[in-house]
Amino acid sequence: MINPKDLLPLTQELTLLFAEDHNELRLSTSEVLKNFFKEVVSVENGLLALEEYREREAKNKAFDIVLTDIQMPKLNGVDLIKKIYTIKNTQKIIVLSAHDDANYLLPLINLGIAQFIKKPIDFQELLQVLLNVAKEKEAMGKDKSSEKSIYLDTHSYFQRDTLALMQENKPLYLTKYEILFLKILTANTSKIFTMEEIVQDFKAMNESIDSQNIRKLVSKLRKKLPENSIESIYGVGYKILALHS
């Protein structure tokens, strides 16, 4: 469970742009966000969001984080994200995803989106995703994937050179498939790996696995890893949540 006090030190100097066409949800979520961010600008459609973003960018005061719904009037979330990335391709963007938005998820992943929040919004999930993105922001774009050790918390890390999971500087037993799964996910700590990609990566290593067995593998592996080390994106795949410091 995320403690709000853990989030505030990372976000209190950040600004956030929030685009959501549902008035009640936008207002209630904005009130929550204002407790954590230096400034929250909320708008009711993608076109207004793009105008706000362009105006800030022109003043060299770009938003630190953009939180956007997918289905909005005038300019939908997918097109908004495409236009933002033409302005700043390193922009941190979080997407609100309803159940009927499933067809948009893979195109958004291909655009580079790595963080999603399911509707209806769960407060703990919102805090977790904001914490993940704030840590990435604090890391200032450092590529942790190139490092030999991927830290999952301050006492646990996966060594990519030896393929060993270390806890308190002692190796923890992993099965062959658990090792290969961590090898895949830690190859890029900012990426969501789809089920199809994971299956293909196993195949490239001369191993066979299907979606059902991937889920079983993740369930068992989570018992060995620090809490919240593997993020599940419903209907898409998995992402490792590395510790950025």
Per-residue pLDDT tens for 140-173? 544 444 457 888 988 899 998 889 999 988 899 9
Looking at residue 100, its pLDDT comes to: 67
Looking at residue 142, its pLDDT comes to: 47
Looking at residue 213, its pLDDT comes to: 95
Cβ within 8 Å of residue 188, ≥6 positions away: 145
Looking at residue 47, its pLDDT comes to: 96
Looking at residue 235, its pLDDT comes to: 80
SS (H, E, C) 40-107: EEEECCHHHHHHHHHHHHHCCCCCCEEEEECCCCCCCHHHHHHHHHHHCCCCEEEEEECHHHHHHHHH
Looking at residue 141, its pLDDT comes to: 46
CATH class entry, domain 144-240:
mainly alpha
Distance between CA 37 and CA 21 in Å, rounded?
21
Question: Dihedral of the CA atoms 70, 76, 77, 78 (nearest 10)?
Answer: 110
Question: What does the mean pLDDT of the chain come to?
Answer: 88
The fold of the 4-138 domain, in CATH, is Rossmann fold (3.40.50)
Looking at residue 107, its pLDDT comes to: 77
Looking at residue 145, its pLDDT comes to: 44
- Counting as low any pLDDT under 70, the low residues of the chain are 99-102, 114, 139-147, 244-245
CA-closest candidate to residue 238, choices 132, 120, 114: 114
The structural domains of the chain, with segments of one domain joined by +, span 4-138, 144-240
| Cβ contact 182:242 at 8 Å | no
Looking at residue 242, its pLDDT comes to: 84
Looking at residue 40, its pLDDT comes to: 96
Looking at residue 62, its pLDDT comes to: 86
Looking at residue 192, its pLDDT comes to: 87
- Residue 235 tokens read as 């209907």
- β-partners of residue 238 are 193, 232
Distance between CA 214 and CA 178 in Å, rounded?
10
CA atoms within 13 A on the CB side of 154: 1
